[in-house]
């Protein structure tokens, strides 16, 4: 990534990034501006060996406020590739199990990832709509100790689509989107995963690919075209698709009866894609819903504290507890999110904290309130 001289000059005199960074608030030694300065002094040296490059959450809070539009997460991503090549690696969360699963998916592997769909509704091998489920089938197994079902999110999506008259393509041949490989500097694995996904989607004949995972959506929308050229299908996040189509689909929802709820903006969906109102519009479809906002919402929302299953530290846990407490301060006892990783991370923090709060997936919540036929 190349910075202009104007960007460099302004950057060295500014510091808005460091003042905005949630990591810097917990780890005073972490400074986006100082990392840029170090990179200018030693382009091929010091920063590639620095553990700080793995601590960045790529939450985009810094770049969204930068007066000269420096894309600091992309700056960090480019250095992570150099660091990995030099043998400097991050501390992997959960004993590296997610990294191992990604490596397996990047190779030759026979998967059974559609059993949940067979039990839930109707799907096809070919069709106009492809539902990219992402890593939810793996999350279901790995995080069952948190006592909730990540696949309930996908069940909500499939049920609603079916009720709207849509039979989406769901397939065992789908792979991880490659987000985590890309953001941990493993470009080779990303290319293999992305190439396989493009082959599978093309063979399905899909005209539109729908994502309930913000990271999958962001990766396809921004990085697949960079590496593979213009995509032969349309990309839509499920919140924008449903917010547009659901009001006229003839479905009805049971009234809310559990008081106030609040919404957590995922970084990739909010600051990354600018989709702030669509999830809120879906929540407002529930009769009697009472949505109250946290102090930090939309472009100012606090990150859930971890990216790409690495460097989960006390800093990350402190951020999650802070976010959960902020949710409780609204008077709500239900925190809704539209990202499976946000839900896992926040639920993990909640499991060791005595807080009267439930963390609920958006699509699982819609499924819960959906009226029977």
- String of DSSP letters for 66-84: -TT---HHHHHHHHHHHHH
- What is the per-residue DSSP string for 257-287? -S-EEEEE--TTTTTTT---HHHHHHHTTST
Calpha distance 133→213 (Å, rounded): 8
Adjacent-strand bridge partners of 234: 208
Task: Measure the N-to-C terminal CA separation of the chain; round to a whole number of Å.
Answer: 53
Given a contact cutoff of 8 angstroms between Cβ atoms, the answer to whether 217 and 211 are in contact is yes
- Report pLDDT for 167: 98
Q: If residue 224 lies in a helix (H) or strand (E), which one and from where to where? A: helix 224-228
- Half-sphere exposure in the Cβ direction for 29 (13 Å, CA): 6
Give pLDDT < 50 ranges for the chain: none
Calpha distance 166→334 (Å, rounded): 30
What are the tens digits of pLDDT across the range 180-189? 999 999 999 9
- Report pLDDT for 51: 83
Cβ neighbors of 204 (< 8 A, separation 6 or more) are: 125, 126, 127, 130, 169, 171
Calpha distance 210→310 (Å, rounded): 27
Distance of CA 53 to the CA centre of its chain: 19
- Report pLDDT for 47: 79
Neighbours of 111 (CB within 10 A): 14
Which pair of structure tokens corresponds to residue 127?
């069709």
- Report pLDDT for 174: 97
- Report pLDDT for 345: 96
In CATH terms, is domain 252-369 a member of 1.10.10?
Answer: no
Domain spans in the chain, listed from the N-terminal domain onward: 5-85, 94-245, 252-369
Calpha distance 56→74 (Å, rounded): 11
Calpha distance 332→271 (Å, rounded): 24
């Amino acid at each position: 990534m190349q910075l202009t001289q104007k960007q460099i000059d302004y950057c060295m005199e500014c510091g808005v990034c460091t003042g905005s960074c949630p990591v810097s608030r917990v780890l005073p030694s972490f400074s986006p501006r100082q990392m840029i300065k170090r990179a200018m002094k030693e382009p091929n040296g010091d920063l590639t060996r620095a553990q700080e490059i793995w601590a960045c959450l790529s939450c985009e809070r810094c770049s969204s406020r930068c007066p000269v539009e420096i894309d600091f997460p992309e700056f960090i991503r480019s250095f992570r590739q150099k660091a990995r090549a030099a043998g400097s690696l991050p501390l992997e969360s959960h004993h590296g199990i997610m990294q191992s699963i990604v490596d397996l998916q990047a190779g030759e592997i026979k998967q059974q990832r559609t059993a949940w769909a067979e039990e839930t509704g109707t799907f096809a091998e070919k069709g106009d709509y492809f539902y990219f489920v992402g890593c939810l089938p793996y999350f279901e197994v790995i995080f069952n100790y948190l006592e909730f079902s990540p696949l309930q999110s996908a069940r909500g999506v499939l049920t609603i689509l079916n009720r709207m008259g849509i039979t989406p393509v769901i397939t065992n041949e789908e792979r991880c989107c490659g987000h985590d490989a890309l953001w941990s500097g493993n470009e080779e694995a990303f290319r293999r995963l992305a190439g396989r996904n493009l082959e599978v989607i093309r063979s399905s004949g899909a005209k539109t690919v729908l994502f309930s995972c913000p990271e999958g959506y962001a990766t396809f929308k921004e990085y697949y075209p960079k590496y593979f050229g213009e995509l032969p299908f349309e990309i839509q996040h499920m919140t924008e698709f449903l917010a547009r189509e659901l009001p006229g689909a003839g479905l009805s929802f049971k009234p809310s009866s559990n008081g106030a709820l609040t919404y957590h903006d995922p970084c990739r969906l909010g600051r990354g894609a600018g989709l702030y109102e669509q999830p809120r519009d879906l929540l407002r479809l529930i009769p009697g819903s009472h949505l109250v906002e946290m102090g930090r919402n939309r472009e100012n929302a606090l990150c859930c504290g971890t990216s790409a299953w690495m460097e989960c530290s006390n800093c990350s846990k402190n951020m999650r507890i802070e976010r959960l407490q902020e949710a409780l301060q609204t008077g709500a006892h239900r925190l809704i999110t539209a990202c499976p990783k946000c839900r896992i991370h926040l639920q993990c923090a909640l499991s060791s904290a005595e807080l009267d709060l439930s963390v609920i997936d958006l699509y699982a919540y819609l499924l819960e309130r959906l009226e029977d036929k």
